[in-house]
Chains A and B, each alone.
Chain A
Amino acid sequence: MKQDQPATDCKLDQMSQDLLGKPIARSEGLAKVTGTAPYAAEYPVDNCLEGVLVTAPFARGTVTDIDTQACLAMDGVVAVVEDERMTARAAQGTAGEAPVQQPRTVCYWGQPIALVVAETFEQARDAAKHLVISFDADDLDDVAFDPNAVDPENKESTSQGDLTRAMNEASSNVDARLTTSGHASAAMEPHAAIAEWDGSKLTVYASLQMLNYNIAELADAVDLEEDDVRLISRYVGGGFGSKLGISEETVAAAIAAMQLERPVRVVMSRQQVFQCIMRRSETTQRLRLASGDDGALTGFGHYALVSNLPGEEFAEPVLQSSQFLYAGENRLLEMDVARVHRMTAGSVRAPGEAVGMPALEVAMDMLAEEAGVDPVELRLRNIPENHPVEGTPFSSHKLAECLKQGAEAFNWDSGKRKPRHTKDGEWWIGTGMASAARVHNVSEAKARVTLKADGTAMVETDMTDIGTGTYTILGQVAGEMLGLPRDKVLVELGDTQFPRGSGSGGSWGAASVGSAVFVACQALRKKLAERAGVSEDELSLKDGAISGGTSLVDLLDGKDLAEEGHYEPGDIDEDFVAAGFGAYFAQVRVNRFTGETRVERMTGAFGFGRVLNEKTARSQCIGGMTWSIGVALTEALHFDPVDGHLVNCDLAEYHVPVHRDVPDLDVIMVEERDPAASPIQAKGIGELGMCGGAAAIANAIYNACGARVMDFPMTPDRVLAAMPYD
């Protein structure tokens, strides 16, 4: 089905299994907690060789020669693969074609250039360090590394009215420059693949988010037809955007397996994951906000400078939610891209809002202070009726409810705010808040649902579950529609032998593939209704039987019944602006002497349409809030100014939050159904949880100690530098 109209009456609400939305435990959970769920590198494959990637120790230039002799002479070494089909970058999400190949042309420090294959991992790892590479590196003075030191290209521009005038005439205004550091996805499972070639067909176990696109990317890279490629990703040890597109190890493993006619496993080292997988671009942003006495925005300006490699289309969409989140007649939103030789910039959890929202929400806090309006109230006063430029209505909009419910749960003090109001020994204590917003996306998806003769159901799609709960919620959708308890629905994912799903990314998985399952189930219900001699509307299924009547087993009469559901986003996205909204409230303590900041408590209230599983949805929210803490306090990629290499390329020095950084997190899921967002009235939730949370922490730091830090992350040195002296 194609959705062109809001799905106001949703069949799901007429069902009686009472399964959807319930906080049931993950169906694959037992496998994960007992270590029996196999990830890409863990499939038992006989006679498997081990490959280790060799990477370029220079930023830009050409590999002129690869001397394999010494390497090949080493114990256990089988081959050095240096094929021009190997990829030099990972594919961007939804590319559907091979990324840049010909790895001898080097564009960033750490780019893979060859693969050393040996009998054992220990042999391959050592041999990879002994491959002799000759290269012609470009003069470093001619290679751009610093995004702020080059002339950028304009990427997008939206203008309405006269922002400069609005700023001049405003009773309150803010003109603020903020920066955010680059981020790494740092999924816990390193990128890995095992490739097998039987002479005509290629099977690859890989760690990927979007098999529906990845199969085309891989087939294109290795010059095969899609029909001759099978990709399997049943379990993915975290993605966060880093596994959206096919990456270097998967293509290298495939080429090696085809050349050597033996299975080959390639697992990136953690350092390689950092050095050659997508980074989130650093940003430099300027926020200009103008308001009247009451805090109502009259002008809204948001500028962002981001970076990427030459030739990459992707630019961190910093302004995405700024387009519609707040009112303001006079608007100027502009974004530039600087071309620099750092590894590819691409999607990292919540591309755009993850860094755009924190900057905007710090500026809003500054405006609240300037205008003397409570920060919560300031947001409430600036929620637009419709899209402020295009005039399009919102599909559903829960920002006000989130702000109110969050403030109440947090016990937000709406009285006059002044920094440095509470001291506890060495610590200043303060609170802050911010709005959350994230555009809602959907994507075409297919899924097959089979009612088995034994009265169980099976859902099959090449959709992946990267930890979001897909296995569980698809079973809940099917169980609800078909009147089956969750344990009677088997969900099979992550195999391109199944119908093409939507892929997992952009928070669109649940709404898209969930809708495909819903569509398939509707078709099944129609057939069941025919057999039962009732209309579909009258068909009430529960616990494997028509309520008070015939069992499904009897209806099926010994035969399986299968339907493929096909969901396509329709024109509805032109009629409505669909987005998830929310609000964060944080309390921090800041050390008076050292500037160290600890988040003491944090509340997030979010509206994201129908909740498909209360437990896994809440987990998505706390995951996003945890990332907010990383953006606010600890995470930053550091690039060498001389040769552009990423210096902190490991988990010791790239600081993802640890247990002790994260307090108990309070999550409120605001009741919402969004009929225009998807047929099942659900929106994305995987990213919303981190779209602004860092600003709540930043604003709390200011409220605690008076340090208005303009650079994320707010490490002790930055807090100290901005903190007024005692």
Chain B
Amino acid sequence: MRPFQYARPDSLDHATQLTAPEDTMAIAGGTNLIDLMKLQVETPQELIDINRLTMGEIADTDDGGLRIGALATNTATAAHDRVRSDYPLLARAILAGATQQLRNKATTGGNLCQRTRCYYFTNIDQPCNKRDPGSGCGAIKGIARLHAILGTSNHCIATYPGDMAVAMAALDAQVLITREGEKERTVPVRDFHRLPGDTPEKDNVLEAGEIITGVTLPAPVEGKQIYRKVRERSSYAFALVSVAAVVAMTDGRISRANLAFGGIAHKPWHDPRLSELLVGETPSAAVFDKAADLLLEDAQGYGENDFKIPLTRRALAATLADATGVEL
């Protein structure tokens, strides 16, 4: 860990001032940032501790939704009464991630900014375009077990590792972002994370000096909410593939299918075409297969992660079967 200056702002405005310079980072729970600072993957010269700002509130919004403060811990969010009753998908996704110790520290904002677990990213003696632009990608010709099958580029095949944001993408949540002297801006979770393209160093659309203040969930909608996570251990492992689903049925036909996927792309993967394809259909194995065909039509494996293509197909079918009551 490089030496750094440690500071604590006394207001949100102050925080956005302090975090504006390059080489400055905000720290909340620290469960990802401190990990990466020890490895010198992250080397901020100034660390702005925003934990004492009052951004941990979880409150109803005027339109019947829920606003989750950026500093609300994962534990607090998953245990919140309305999250449990109206957004069980979010509670389930959070509870499927990490451990209680980590969730007690991890925050909404920090979790959104969680960086990839790519082995080449976390090893500073290996090439990685995300960590060190222009140095190459070690994973493409290396061990790509954890890696993406959709939306990759020649520069990066890393995945976004989290669970919470995958659920938020299915729930069509909005990220609230503020910067000094400007009005809060709103970015859909679905657009918050980026694809790597030729700038894989940028995980998301957050600019220097911007701070996430919270996430809003729209008013709850009808439908069954399911989070299915496939992993190598029964707990405490990142997703090989995960599926977040909000699926409703009307008169035997699918009337809503909001789906998002984890573990397969540089961002929580949301393909709006799936909803278009599924809504109005009578659920069946063949329909689920068609959805998987569409989802995976551009999927590309990198050897070690080829299995994610059939695994995603099967996880999707299982989730849709569960949601619609179809026996497979």
Contacts and interface: CB of A to CB of B under 8 A. Distances in A.
Interface of A: 57, 75, 122, 125-126, 129, 426, 592-596, 598, 633-634, 638-642, 645, 647-649, 652-653, 655, 657-661, 715-717, 720-721, 726
A716 B232 contact: yes
A641 B142 contact: yes
Given A642-B141, A645-B126, A720 B307 contact: yes
5 contacts: A122-B1, A641-B142, A647-B142, A661-B233, A661-B235
Given A642-B138, A645-B126, A716 B311 contact: yes
B211 to A, nearest CB: 27
Given A75-B3, A660-B234, A721-B307, A640 B317 contact: no
Nearest to B35: A652
B7 interface: no
Contact of A126 (B2, B124, B236, B315): B2
B59 to A, nearest CB: 34
A660 B235 CA distance: 6
Contact of B234 (A638, A647, A652, A661): A661
Given A659-B235, A720-B314, 16 more contacts: A75-B3, A122-B1, A126-B40, A641-B141, A645-B126, A647-B119, A647-B142, A649-B119, A649-B123, A652-B238, A657-B233, A660-B234, A660-B236, A661-B233, A715-B232, A716-B311
Interface in B205-251: 230-238, 240
A594 B230 contact: yes
Nearest to B308: A717
Contacts of A721: 307
Interface string B293-310: 000000000000001001
Contacts of A634: 232-233
Interface in B119-153: 119-120, 123-126, 138, 141-143, 145-146
A125 B1 contact: yes
B142 A642 contact: yes
Which among A592, A596, A645, A647 has the highest number of chain B CB atoms within 10 Å?
A647
B300 to A, nearest CB: 16
B52 interface: no
Given A634-B233, A726-B328, A129 B40 contact: yes
B143 A638 contact: yes
A126 B235 contact: no
Contacts of B34: none
Interface residues of B, number: 36
Contacts of A129: 40, 124
Contacts of B232: 633-634, 655, 715-716
Contacts of B236: 658, 660
A641 B140 CA distance: 11
Given A647-B143, A658-B236, A720 B125 contact: no
Given A638-B145, A647-B143, A717 B311 contact: yes
B290 interface: no
Interface of B: 1-3, 38, 40, 117, 119-120, 123-126, 138, 141-143, 145-146, 230-238, 240, 307, 310-311, 314-315, 317-318, 328
B23 to A, nearest CB: 16
A593 to B, nearest CB: 4
A57 B120 CA distance: 13
A342 to B, nearest CB: 13
A18 B40 CA distance: 58
B307 A655 contact: no
A127 to B, nearest CB: 11
Given A57-B125, A645-B126, A594 B315 contact: yes
A598 B234 contact: yes
Contacts of A649: 119, 123
A700 B3 CA distance: 53
B307 A717 contact: yes
A141 to B, nearest CB: 14
A653 B315 CA distance: 22
A275 to B, nearest CB: 10
A367 B170 CA distance: 49
Contacts of B231: 596
Nearest to A641: B142
A19 B23 CA distance: 65
B217 to A, nearest CB: 28
Contact of A655 (B237, B314, B317): B237
A721 B124 CA distance: 34
B138 to A, nearest CB: 7
Given A655-B232, A720-B307, A593 B314 contact: yes
A263 B2 CA distance: 25
B240 A720 contact: no
A720 B309 CA distance: 12
Nearest to A630: B233
Nearest to B38: A125
Report the 10 A-B pairs with minimum CB-CB distance, sorted nearest first. A717-B307, A57-B125, A593-B318, A647-B119, A660-B235, A660-B234, A594-B230, A593-B314, A647-B143, A640-B142
B111 to A, nearest CB: 16
A726 B230 CA distance: 19
Contacts of B120: 647
Nearest to B307: A717
A122 B1 CA distance: 7
B2 A716 contact: no
Given A642-B141, A647-B142, A652 B3 contact: no
B264 to A, nearest CB: 13
Contacts of B235: 658-661
Contacts of A592: 328
B314 A594 contact: yes
A516 to B, nearest CB: 41
Contacts of B3: 75, 126
A716 B141 CA distance: 23
Nearest to B319: A593
A657 B310 CA distance: 25
Contacts of B230: 594, 596, 716
A645 B230 CA distance: 27
B328 A594 contact: no
A693 to B, nearest CB: 17
A726 B317 CA distance: 13
A648 B311 contact: no
A407 B251 CA distance: 52
Contact of B143 (A593, A640, A658, A661): A640
Nearest to A650: B122
Nearest to A110: B125
Nearest to A721: B307
A720 B138 CA distance: 27
A720 B231 CA distance: 13
Which among B1, B145, B146 has the highest number of chain A CB atoms within 10 Å?
B145
Contacts of B138: 640, 642
Given A426-B318, A642-B138, A594 B311 contact: yes
Contacts of B238: 652
B119 A126 contact: no
B233 A658 contact: yes
A252 to B, nearest CB: 19
Contacts of A647: 119-120, 123, 142-143
Contacts of A716: 230, 232, 240, 307, 311
